[in-house]
Amino acid sequence: MGKLLDSLKLNGVEITEEVETKVMAEFVEKKAVELKETEISNLKEQLKTRDKDIEELKKTDGTKLKEELVTLQTKYKDDTEAYEKKLQATLFENALDLALLEVNAKDKGIIKTLIEKEKIQLKDGKLEGLTDQIEALKKEKEFLFNKEADPEEKKDHSYVYTPADGKQSNEPTTLNDAVAQALGYVK
């Protein structure tokens, strides 16, 4: 990820903290989601293999095989429940990470330790009970969150050079002009 940001800087792109955060979130989160999707597809393949094994065992006769079948069915049922719990935990963590990213969290790890996860529920892809906790944290520990830029801060405050031989006076009219002239950028 650093290579991309370095490459952008070398090509003259100004990298602000906001741009860096957005780039890091976009690439890091997508990679994490792709890893989780791979994990989910692997788990689904394991479930298909399990079902195939059960069907093969049902075709054979014998009390020993029937006992084995019951044992395997119980094991597979437990495994399926464990996989479902793991899948739900993964979905919850991903949704929580995205929600913390949306509220401009500086350090998701610290914030995750401060919130009460048991009071948060994932329903239809949305976290219920998180908003109140985040608002309380923003009031108590606002340093854990990046401040949203004010519209006034978003304005371009860059200095535009006006040559001395132009039609305009060389006298500074703004503080930026006065500073630029004092530093020798404008004569």
The reply to whether 98 and 162 lie within a common domain is no
Asked whether residue 32 falls in the same domain as residue 113, the answer is yes
Q: Are residues 116 and 164 in the same domain?
A: no
State how far the Cα of 45 lies from the Cα of 39, in Å rounded to an integer.
10
CA-atom Rg of the chain in angstroms? 29
CB contact at 8 A, 120 and 130: yes
* The pLDDT of residue 74 is above 90: yes
Q: What is the pTM of this model?
A: 0.45
Q: What pLDDT digit, counting tens, does each position of 137-186 carry?
A: 889 988 888 887 555 555 555 555 555 665 555 677 778 877 887 787 76
Residue 72 has pLDDT above 80, yes or no: yes
Residue 133 CA to residue 116 CA, distance in Å, equals 8
Same domain, 121 and 137: yes
pLDDT at 145: 87
Structurally, the chain folds into a number of domains equal to: 2
Strand ranges in 5-130 using DSSP code E only, listed in sequence order: 121-123, 126-128
pLDDT at position 168 is: 57
CB 21 within 8 A of CB 75: no
Q: Are residues 185 and 104 in the same domain?
A: no
Q: Are residues 123 and 141 in the same domain?
A: yes
How far apart, in whole angstroms, are the C-alpha atoms of residue 71 and residue 123? 34
Residue 152's pLDDT is what?
55
Instruction: Mark whether 68 and 94 lie in a shared domain.
Output: yes
Claim to verify: residue 143 and residue 174 sit in the same structural domain = no
What is the pLDDT, as a whole number, of residue 83? 92
Q: Are residues 63 and 142 in the same domain?
A: yes
74 and 117 fall within a common domain: yes
pLDDT at 163: 58
Report the C-alpha gap between 152 and 174 in whole angstroms: 17
Least confident segment among 29-43, 73-87, 160-174:
160-174
Domain that holds residue 183: 157-187
d(CA 162, CA 181): 11
Is the same domain home to 98 and 123? yes
Give 109's contacts (C-beta < 8 A, 6+ positions apart): none
∠ CA 34-35-39, nearest 5°, is 115
Residues 32 and 107 in one domain: yes
Q: Inform me whether the pLDDT recorded for 29 exceeds 80.
A: no
Can you give the pLDDT at residue 30? 65
pLDDT at 150: 53
CA distance 67 to 61: 11
Lowest average pLDDT, out of 63-67, 73-77, 90-94, goes to: 63-67
